[in-house]
Amino acid sequence: MKKMIKVEQLSQNFHERSVLENISFEVKHGEFFGIIGPNGSGKSTLLRLLSGIDPVKKGSVELEGRPTSAYSRKELARWLAVLQQDALPPVGFTIREVVEMGRYPFQNWLGEDIAEAEQLIEAIIRKLHLEPLVERTIERLSGGERQRVALAKVMAQQPRLLMLDEPTTFLDIGYQVQMMDYIREWQRESQLTVVAVLHDLNLAAQYCTRLMVIHNGELAAIGTPDEIITSKLITEVYGTEPIVLQHPANQAPQILLQPGK
């Protein structure tokens, strides 16, 4: 299968402090690839390098066979989208206006979309059940509604590669599952490649085809959820010994935390 991302010996320092050290891995087209690890381990820094937001100084990151530096920002935005924890603009914009912002990379110098995007926008609004909210301004939305609108905006970009930076962190459990279900359905329908930094290990195990563990800026492990979500590895990386069980519905490994003795 063709590689979407190839990373070799990637390192990153901030103020002479090592944040990432010699990270190498590949992501294939159509994968749902998860990045997990403790807070401060370098996950978000890695995502910023993969997406071209930060320049690569040591090592290499290739997207579809070309270094990230070979793409202009607008060229990259035509096929790569990033969904962050709170990715919406300031107050005052309606939901429809925010979704239409996803078409910016496809506008000409007159601000006209090079494709007929109206049908696309309407389809996305229907798919994410945003019809009752389209004329509402974003400051009047709940946390779950805001993330749905943020997802609609990146869907309007029609990317081939989607990067997620802890998109469910501030959502309650119902909205977490809803958000991940929407993303997985979109991924399967469009053969989308997804790279997701996730905080919740149980969600990561249920939605990702492969997981990579970052610990103290280094690659600690990479493999399927069954290979990664083990009591031994979680204890080594997170410093707490969980009970690991199979989910009764889909057999994904799930962890139960144990109170300290």
Domain that holds residue 186: 3-256
The position carrying tokens 């990067």 is 163
Q: Is residue 116 a part of any domain in this protein? A: yes
Q: How confident is the model at residue 22 (pLDDT cuts 50, 70, 90)?
A: very high
**Total domains, the chain:** 1
| CATH code for the domain of 26 | 3.40.50.300
Q: Is residue 261 a part of any domain in this protein? A: no
The lowest-confidence range among 17-21, 56-60, 192-196, 203-207 is 17-21
Q: What is the mean pLDDT of residues 84-93?
A: 70
Cα–Cα nearest to 177, from 168, 166, 164, 169: 168
What six digits make up the tokens of 228? 């990664």
Question: For 10, phi and psi rounded to 5 degrees?
Answer: -80, 130
Tell me how far apart the alpha carbons of residues 249 and 132 are, in angstroms, rounded to a whole number.
Answer: 33
Task: Give the CB-side neighbour count of residue 209, counting CA atoms within 13 A.
Answer: 14
pTM attached to this predicted model: 0.91
Q: How confident is the model at residue 104 (pLDDT cuts 50, 70, 90)?
A: confident
Q: Is residue 214 a part of any domain in this protein? A: yes
Q: How confident is the model at residue 209 (pLDDT cuts 50, 70, 90)?
A: very high
Q: Is residue 218 a part of any domain in this protein? A: yes
Q: Is residue 40 a part of any domain in this protein? A: yes
